[in-house]
Structures are given as structure tokens and as C-alpha cells.
Amino acid sequence: MPSVDFEKLKRCIKIPEAAERILVKREKEISFNLTIMLDENTVIEGDCYVVYHNTARGPAKGGIRFSPMVTLEETRDLAERMVWKTALAGIPFGGGKSGIRLDPTKITRFQKTAVLKEFVHMIQWELRSGAYVPAPDMGTTPFDMAVIYGETHMPESITGKPPRVGGLPGRREATGHGVAFVSIMGLQEILRQVPERTTVAVQGFGNVGSYTALFLQEYGCKVQAVSDVSGGLYNEKGLDIADLFEYTRLNGSIAGYDKAESITNEELLLLDVDVLCPCALENVIHEGNAADIKARMIVEGANGPTTAGADAVLNENGVVVIPDILANSGGVVASYVEWRKAKSGSITEASETYHTIDDRIGLAFSQMREYNQKFKIDNRTAAQAIAVEELICSMRDRGWM
């Protein structure tokens, strides 16, 4: 099922039949089994997928997910979300995604590098032609992107590389920076509230959640709770996020941090805070807990953290939702800056990365608010409507319809 409800969108925008037929279908799928014999006793194998959903606006852009939970259906869904995200941000990319169904925690660094090199070998045309431009995702890192770059020898073939090998200063922090920036916009323009009087809970303390929390604290918000796979932490007076950063660097997780009380991930979602940022897994806000959400605003740092059923409950209860295709688009905007930098050979500072993210997200937020008020629709529908209209225009420009 597509993540966009076209029948709902047709109530406010015109969608030609030809456009809908194109947008509901995936352009291209590649499925293969990756098998590597490392020595006479060690064989590693896993299913791999590459999906292009739509490339009307440019190359298929989307990260490489390395996880034992990877499925073709999940890869399809994430590729589609990238189509709407890149169109909404107004950058010249389409939507794609790839996945390797292996557990990166069960293999060595050397073995993971061997897997990635074989993955590149299997999809080398996609990478060398520029048709697919990957980036880090769950289970992959800037180091992994450097491995791929070492195989293609083309700096524009991959984004999310370490800055010293052609990457972008600010890329690691980019998604969290965007989530925090749009949270502040939502606070000021929708809730009419200043950051200094705002309480926040961030579900997930990985790359996205940790930087979201850090930037929100720098804006003046009181981050009362965070969580990761080991559980959650709560401090009514506010956590010291910089201190927690250092603790997790030394200990690998937030478990055992003694400057806050322990809570569960589920308890974190139901805290009485102004802003809730789900920055970890899909479908964590569902029909079973949506009615108990006390936050006034939800900013979706993760992809698809809210189910369709929960959306309806939240809208009925007056909870403001800033959808994922806007809220977490800072990463793909930074990827565009890195891709552009790689093609031109220019030197880019972190400040320029952040400025471009703020510019793209700020414009999209204003457009979303305009559609929200003009058509009396929720933010998610408004953001999707803008993206679909952009794609319709792009497909016309390409002569696709």
C-alpha cells in the first residue's frame, strides 16, 4: 500500500490519472542474494534489495539499511517516502532505498567491509552511472560510505562520507539539526511558545535523536527525557545532553546513567511534555497509545513513527504533527549539498550545510502551513500535497505524461 492516500489528496489538489498511475508504482527493483566465502569455514550470506520508486526529479536517493530486519516491503516503503521527501524539500533527487539483510553486530569490521565491497560489485552499474546515490542508514556509518567510495572512486557516487575523504562537514548532525529547527518553527508559529518555556522528550538516542536533543537544548528547550534500546531516562529539571553524549561515547548506551531516573520507552512516549520527538523506530505511536499521548506537538524524526490509525486519533485530539517527510529531511538536504560539492570540487563549511537545511526546511514548512490553512487539512496531508504537485510538474517537464 502506498504511504500517500491519493483519494484524500484529490479533495484539495488535481491529480491526473496518468500521474497517479506512475506514482503508485515502483520504477525498478533489484533483489539478489549476497554470498561471500571468507575462508574454508566461514560463509556469509544475506538477501539484498535496491528499490527506485520514482526518478522524475533526479537520481534515486536513499540510504543503505544493514539489518537482520530488512525486507523488500520495508525497502519499498522507505524508497517511496524518499520520493515525497526530496520533492517537498525541492532538491533534484528522486526516491530510492537499499537494504542488506544481515546483522552488523554479529560480524567483524573486516567481514562487514567484505560484504559492502561485494554489494558494490553486485550493483556497480547503479552506482557508477549515478542512477542511485546511497547514504548511511540504520546499521551503516560514514566509514562504510568511505568503503563504497573506495570501490567506485567517484566522490559523487555516495554521500555521508567522512569529511576528510570528500564528505561534508555537518552531515552527521544534519538530520538532528533539521528536526530541531522545524521543532522551533512549530513552537513559534503553531503553538506560539518560546523555547525557554518548552519541555521535550526524545525517543531514540542514536544519531538522529542525540543531535535533535542537543540542538533543542542549545535553542533553550528543557529536554526532560531520552531513550535508546536499553531504556529511557527522565529528569524533570532537564538532562545535560552534552554530558549524556560523553557518557554514551564511553559506555555505548545510556544504560546506567545516574543523573536521571529510569523509565521505559513506552512511558517516555506518554510523558506530559510540550514536544515529543520519536527518532527511532517505525509505528511506535499507534492506535493502542495515541489517545494517551499528552504532548502538544509531535515532530517525527524517524521514518513512519506514527500509524495511519494513530494519525486520526491525534488529529481529533488537537495534537500538532510535523510529518517525517518534512521533519527528518535535513539528512537528504545535506546529502544534496555533499553531492553538489563532489561534482563541483568546492569546499563547503558546516555553516553552509546548516544554512541550506534551514532554508529548504523553512520554505517547505511555510508552504505546508499555507496548504494547511487554505484547504483545512492536517500537516501530513498538506506536505504530501505539495510533494505530489511538485512531482506532477516534474513528470510533465520530462514528458512522462
Catalytic residues: 97
Specify whether the CB–CB gap between 122 and 151 falls below 8 A: no
Specify whether the CB–CB gap between 382 and 313 falls below 8 A: no
List helix spans (H) across 140-252: 142-152, 174-186, 207-219, 241-251
Residue 167 grid cell: 564528505
- How far from 135 is each of 111, 304, 360, CA to CA, in Å? 20, 19, 19
Specify whether the CB–CB gap between 306 and 300 falls below 8 A: yes
Specify whether the CB–CB gap between 298 and 269 falls below 8 A: no
CA 254 vs. chain centroid, Å, equals 22
Measured torsion, CA atoms of residues 347, 144, 36, 49, in degrees rounded to the nearest 10: -90
Question: 3-state class of 372 per DSSP?
Answer: helix
